[in-house]
């Protein structure tokens, strides 16, 4: 392992965004050794990484980021140079049902990881980096106008965003207090392949396939700013390599959509792809009780990332949505497995004997 230029712990690598980040780093940087550390909660799925699992520069370790002993043992074993931290509880609706699970993983887990990294790295911070992946939801909710910039004060309003905001503050506090080399990014809503089907876009796609009701919260007028997941992974790559220590970067593609407009767009794309009469799927739309405290609008200003590091999104939303729909139509088994818990069998089969 000493042959590798860097040993990187990627937490949450079996999840939606994490799996795209792991793949990108394992494929593009054969000189790096990537250790994917994931507890495999309901949202983590090793099937996301089937194509990468036999790479010689990749390895999976099942561990809970809150487990100080387990994570310390991994640091002892691998002597990491960097952490890219994505592991989190990530669903707003679940945070409303069970906020303490979010405090545990997102706040305690992040603080514990920071503490361990500090312990191992404090003799010399040279060439070390703790990269924390966060969300635009920490900034709160916008009215009809304006954008979140890196200077926007934090104003989290759901248990999820409060827990992420808290984790961001711990990351910055470890930098200011102890000098830990950190970088942080706050991204808008992601979409693409391997997205767990309880979030808006994959849920609607799955329900349209099975001709089930399409539950739109409130009037469907809430606005989100959507980014192709591979463009997020590309931004993380650039920030990891060229971001300034101690700084934060907003990631987004100036791509605002009302929820109801996305649902209609998906309905028309899928009527066409499934050879259904135009208008068939839209009949499934049902307006349901709104989410408590539902943030009205998110919109990111990514100018800093664009001007300082040259990142920009690669894909238009309509094209990305078509690709996403195609992926779900071609991977119905993936959806069945993540919703049935079958992927746990896959895990036992693959790792049970090791
Ligand atoms: P996800 O829910 O799909 O994946 C989270 C992963 O973390 C899963 O593999 C899960 O098993 C793992 N995990 C959860 N708790 C853990 C624990 N205690 N220990 C170890 N692993 C654990 O989430 P995602 O959508 O891929 O989001 C990844 C990160 O990006 C999160 O930090 C999230 O806040 C952030 N983010 C997400 C979005 C988005 O639109 N999804 C946007 C901006 C930022
Ligand atoms: P979601 O994918 O949960 O992401 P977030 O809450 O982090 O933005 O939801 C995106 C938007 O879609 C949000 O405004 C809530 C709305 N929504 C629905 O209208 N119906 C649904 O079934 C879901 C899951 C979300």
Q: Exposed/middle/buried for 262, CB within 10 Å: 0-12, 13-18, 19+?
A: buried
**Two tokens at 112?**
């514990």
Q: Which atom of ligand 1 lies at the shortest distance from residue 87's CA?
A: 7
Q: What angle do CA 37, 38, 42 make, to 5 degrees?
A: 170
Q: What is the DSSP letter of 297?
A: B
Q: From ligand 2's centre to the CA of 260, what distance in Å?
A: 11
Burial 143-155 (b: 16+ CB within 10 A, else e): eeeebbebebeee
Burial class (CB within 10 angstroms; exposed 0-12, middle 13-18, buried 19+) of 171: buried
Ligand 2 centroid to residue 327 C-alpha, Å: 20
Crossing angle, helix 200-209 and helix 332-340, to 10 degrees?
110
Measured in Å, residue 250 CA sits from the centre of ligand 2 at 21
Residue with tokens 């539950």: 215
Nearest CA to ligand 2 atom 3: 199
Q: Does the beta carbon of 299 lie inside 6 Å of ligand 2? A: no
What would the pLDDT profile of 285-325 be if each residue is shown by its tens digit? 999 999 999 999 999 999 999 999 999 999 999 999 999 99
Which residues on neighbouring strands pair with residue 131, listed in sequence order?
84, 183
Annotated catalytic, 136?
A: yes
- Angle at which helix 259-273 crosses helix 200-209, to 10 degrees, equals 40
Place of tokens 């200011």: 176
Instruction: Find the catalytic residue in 137, 168, 230, 295.
Output: 137
Give the CA angle between residues 109, 113, 349 to the nearest 5°: 75
pLDDT at 354: 47
Instruction: Clarify whether 160 is annotated catalytic.
Output: yes
Q: Which of 64, 81, 89, 136 is catalytic?
A: 136
Mutate to test the pocket of ligand 1, among 16, 37, 116, 233 (most ligand atoms within 8 A of CB): 16
Would residue 137 show up in a list of annotated catalytic residues for this protein? yes
**Contact status, residue 91 vs residue 199, Cβ threshold 8 Å:** yes
Q: CB under 8 Å to 130, separation ≥6 — which residues?
A: 82, 83, 85, 113, 114, 117, 171, 174, 180, 181, 182, 183
Nearest to 291 by CA among 215, 194, 201: 215
Residues in the chain: 354
Q: Output the tens digit of pLDDT for each of the chain's 354 residues.
A: 678 999 999 999 999 999 999 999 999 999 999 999 999 999 999 999 999 999 999 999 999 999 999 999 999 999 999 999 999 999 999 999 999 999 999 999 999 999 999 999 999 999 999 999 999 999 999 999 999 999 999 999 999 999 999 999 999 999 999 999 999 999 999 999 999 999 999 999 999 999 999 999 999 999 999 999 999 999 999 999 999 999 999 999 999 999 999 999 999 999 999 999 999 999 999 999 999 999 999 999 999 999 999 999 999 999 999 999 999 999 999 998 888 766 567 667 766 654
Handedness of CA 237, 242, 245, 250 (dihedral sign): negative
* pLDDT the model gives residue 339: 81
Residue from 95, 217, 255 to probe ligand 2 pocket by mutation (most atoms less than 8 Å from CB)? 217
Bridge partners (DSSP) of residue 185 are 133, 249
Please count the other Cβ atoms lying within 10 Å of the Cβ belonging to residue 68: 14
Ligand 1 center–CA 38 separation, angstroms: 10
Say how many Å lie between the CA of residue 92 and the centre of ligand 2.
Answer: 8
Backbone angles phi, psi at 132, to 5 degrees: -105, 125
Query: How far is the CA of 68 from the CAs of 13, 22, 64, 72, 249, in angstroms?
Result: 19, 23, 9, 6, 29
Of 100, 20, 95, 97, which Cα lies nearest the Cα of 66? 100
pTM of this prediction exceeds 0.95? yes
What confidence score (pLDDT) does residue 237 get?
A: 98
- The atom number, within ligand 1, closest to the CA of 40 reads 11
- Summarised one tens digit per residue, pLDDT across range 83-112 is 999 999 999 999 999 999 999 999 999 999
| 41 CA → ligand 1 middle, Å | 10
Return the ligand number nearest the Cα of 66. 1
Q: Which of 259, 289, 300 to mutate to test the pocket of ligand 2 (most atoms within 8 A of CB)?
A: 259
- C-alpha 121/C-alpha 237 separation (Å) is 22
Tell me, in angstroms, the distance from the centre of ligand 1 to residue 90's CA: 5
The pLDDT of residue 342 is: 64
Identify the structural domains of the chain with CATH numbers, from first to last: 6-191+227-251 (3.40.50.720), 200-223+256-292+317-344 (3.90.25.10)
Can you read off the two tokens belonging to residue 345? 């069998």
Identify the nearest ligand to the CA of 67 by its number.
1
**Hey, which of 161, 199, 290 would you mutate to test ligand 2's pocket, going by the most ligand atoms within 8 Å of its Cβ?**
199
């Amino acid at each position: 392992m000493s042959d590798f230029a860097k040993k990187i712990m990627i937490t949450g690598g079996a999840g939606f965004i994490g799996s795209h980040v792991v793949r990108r780093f394992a494929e593009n940087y054969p000189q790096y050794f990537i250790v994917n550390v994931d507890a495999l909660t309901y949202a983590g799925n090793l099937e996301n990484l089937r194509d990468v699992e036999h790479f010689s520069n990749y390895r999976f370790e099942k561990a809970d980021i809150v487990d100080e002993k387990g994570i310390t043992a991994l640091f002892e074993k691998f002597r990491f140079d960097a952490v890219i931290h994505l592991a989190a509880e990530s669903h707003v609706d679940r945070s409303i049902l069970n906020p303490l699970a979010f405090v545990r993983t997102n706040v305690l887990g992040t603080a514990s990881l920071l503490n361990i990294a500090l312990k191992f790295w404090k003799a010399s911070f040279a060439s070390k980096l703790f990269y924390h992946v966060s969300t635009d939801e920490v900034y709160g909710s916008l009215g009809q106008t304006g954008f979140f910039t890196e200077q926007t004060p934090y104003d989290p309003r759901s248990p999820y965003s409060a827990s992420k905001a808290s984790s961001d503050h711990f990351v910055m506090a470890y930098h200011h207090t102890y000098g830990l080399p950190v970088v942080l990014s706050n991204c808008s809503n992601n979409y693409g392949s391997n997205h767990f089907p309880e979030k808006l876009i994959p849920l609607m796609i799955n329900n349209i396939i099975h001709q089930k009701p399409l539950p739109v919260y409130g009037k469907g007028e809430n606005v989100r700013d959507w980014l192709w997941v591979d463009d997020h992974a590309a931004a993380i790559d650039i920030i990891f390599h060229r971001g300034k220590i101690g700084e934060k970067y907003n990631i987004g593609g100036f791509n605002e959509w009302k929820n109801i407009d996305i649902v209609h767009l998906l309905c028309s794309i899928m009527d066409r792809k499934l050879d259904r009469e135009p208008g068939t799927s839209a009949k499934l739309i049902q307006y349901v009780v709104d989410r408590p405290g539902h943030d009205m609008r998110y919109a990111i200003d990514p100018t800093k990332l664009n001007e300082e590091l040259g990142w920009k999104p690669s894909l238009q939303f309509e094209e990305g949505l078509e690709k996403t729909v195609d992926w779900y139509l071609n991977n119905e088994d993936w959806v069945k497995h993540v919703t049935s818990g079958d992927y746990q069998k896959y895990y036992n089969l693959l790792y049970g004997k090791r």
